[in-house]
């Protein structure tokens, strides 16, 4: 029986535009798969947008999002799921050049591809499948690559690296961790002995291949989460790099007042889109701060409605619509009525 094509199983790649500071370089970040998502789901792009924004990369920056979900962990189906996901990564790699060519400024003057985990597999498949010389491909950054040097038929480790290196104008940067347990798990799931690229230095020596060890430094349980520490990782890849100050850092956080999960500009005063309280999310310590503690007071007029008061301002009772001008004396809130 023929397999019925299922729309949800499609990879459905989407290029999310993240920033453009006017410099003539283009960076595309490709995420990997996630144990916590149901099969064929798309991981939350907002989360990646926020993490990537912290690095404030220059030029045009995109996130390539794809339906990469791993499936909830079920030992019976895990191997089947994993092989389908790898197959998806491979298929996406084969069409990566076509996807990138959809960029409005194609071909970019200087293109950098960054792939995390299975996103790195997407890139290596792409480098083997097509010629990239006409695309301005400058750097390729592999973060915890979930692919082995000898996974491609007809390629030895040496041939694989030579082919990849020949596709870039500048360098291939292999960021690896010897403690990467997620990648160890891949060998376990596949029941093979092939070690992933993201676990060791490249076996082939070349001036175009640069290895950076992150062994024991990624601070997550698996030593695999390069995107959560993307800013720090980029600082290692490009020491003394220039940050794009025009790149607004964003963050997802719980509003400290209404506790809604919201996406906000970081490191500046913002209003919570849910409750309008003003606070600042600082990436320095990932905490929320406010200058004035919000206070919920009873409406002095109708005594039924409540008004949330923060900084000195004119506020209106949501019930009787009466306006009050609030001020503060120390921690005490004082008010005067405002004529309509």
> What is the contact surface with Zn ion in residues (CB under 5 A)?
255, 257-258, 272, 274-275, 299, 301-302, 305, 317, 319-320
SS3 196: strand
Q: How far is the CB of 276 from Zn ion (least distance, A)?
A: 7
Output the CA–CA distances (angstroms, integers) from residue 35 to 44, 123, 183, in the order listed: 13, 21, 12
CB of 287 to Zn ion, least distance (A): 15
Measured from the CB atom, is 20 or 280 closer to Zn ion? 280
Q: Which is nearer to Zn ion, 204 or 301 (CB)?
A: 301
Compare residues 166 and 274 and give the one whose CB is closer to Zn ion. Answer: 274
At 290, give phi and psi (nearest 5°).
-140, 155
CB closer to Zn ion out of 243 and 301? 301
CA gap 340, 325 in Å, rounded: 12
* Cβ at position 310, least distance to Zn ion in Å: 11
**209 or 272: CB nearest Zn ion:** 272
Find the shortest distance in angstroms from Cβ 47 to Zn ion. Answer: 19
CB of 14 to Zn ion, least distance (A): 29
Two tokens at 211?
């290895």
Nearer to Zn ion, 140 or 299 (CB): 299
Q: Report, in Å, the least distance between residue 277 CB and Zn ion.
A: 5
Q: What is the token pair recorded at 112?
A: 């950098």
Residue 209 or 266 with smaller CB distance to Zn ion: 266
State the Cα–Cα distance between residues 59 and 222, nearest whole angstrom. 31
Q: Which neighbouring-strand residues pair with 112?
A: 27, 139
Nearest to 318 by CA among 301, 333, 336: 301
Q: How far is the CB of 51 from Zn ion (least distance, A)?
A: 22
Nearest to 122 by CA among 102, 153, 143, 150: 143
Distances (CA, A) of 126 to 99, 113, 239, 258, 278: 11, 11, 27, 45, 46
Q: Of the two residues 302 and 338, which places its CB atom closer to Zn ion in the complex?
A: 302
Determine if residue 223 is left, alpha or beta; phi over 0 gives left, psi from -120 to 50 gives alpha, anything else beta: left
CA angle 112, 117, 119 (to 5 degrees): 50
What are the distances in angstroms from CA 258 to CA 272, 279, 313? 9, 12, 20
Question: In angstroms, what is the C-alpha Rg of the chain?
Answer: 25
CA 8 to chain centre: 22
Omega of the bond leading into 107 within 30 degrees of 0 (cis): yes
State the minimum distance, in angstroms, from the CB of residue 48 to Zn ion.
23
Q: How far is the CB of 307 from Zn ion (least distance, A)?
A: 8
Minimum CB distance to Zn ion smaller for 275 or for 297? 275
Q: How far apart are CA 54 and CA 241, in angstroms?
A: 14
């Amino acid at each position: 029986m023929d397999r019925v094509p299922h729309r949800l199983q499609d990879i459905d790649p989407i290029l999310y535009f993240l920033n453009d500071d006017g410099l003539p370089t283009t960076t595309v970040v490709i995420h990997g798969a996630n144990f916590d998502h149901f099969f064929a789901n798309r991981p939350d792009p907002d989360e990646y947008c926020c993490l990537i924004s912290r690095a404030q990369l220059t030029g045009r920056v995109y996130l390539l999002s794809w339906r990469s979900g791993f499936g909830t962990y079920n030992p019976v189906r895990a191997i089947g799921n994993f092989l389908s996901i790898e197959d998806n990564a491979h298929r996406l790699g084969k069409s990566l050049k076509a996807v990138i060519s959809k960029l409005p400024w194609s071909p970019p003057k200087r293109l950098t591809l960054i792939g995390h985990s299975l996103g790195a597999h997407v890139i290596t498949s792409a480098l083997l499948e097509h010629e990239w010389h006409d695309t301005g491909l400058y750097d390729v950054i592999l973060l915890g690559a979930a692919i082995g040097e000898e996974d491609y038929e007809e390629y030895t480790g040496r041939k694989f690296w030579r082919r990849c290196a020949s596709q870039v104008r500048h360098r291939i940067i292999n960021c690896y961790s010897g403690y990467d347990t997620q990648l160890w798990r891949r060998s376990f799931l596949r029941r093979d002995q092939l070690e992933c690229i993201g676990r060791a230095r490249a076996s082939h020596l070349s001036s175009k291949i640069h290895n950076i060890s992150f062994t024991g430094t990624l601070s997550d349980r698996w030593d695999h989460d390069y995107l959560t520490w993307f800013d720090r990782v980029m600082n290692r890849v490009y020491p003394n790099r220039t940050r794009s100050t025009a790149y607004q850092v964003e963050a997802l956080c719980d509003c400290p007042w209404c506790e809604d999960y919201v996406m906000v500009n970081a490191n500046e005063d913002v209003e919570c889109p849910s409750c309008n309280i003003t606070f600042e999310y600082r990436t320095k310590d990932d905490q929320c701060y406010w200058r004035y503690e919000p206070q919920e007071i009873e409406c002095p007029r109708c005594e039924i409605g409540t008004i949330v008061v923060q900084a000195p301002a004119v506020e209106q009772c949501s019930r009787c619509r009466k306006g009050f001008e609030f001020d503060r004396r120390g921690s005490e809130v004082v008010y005067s009525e405002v004529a309509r």
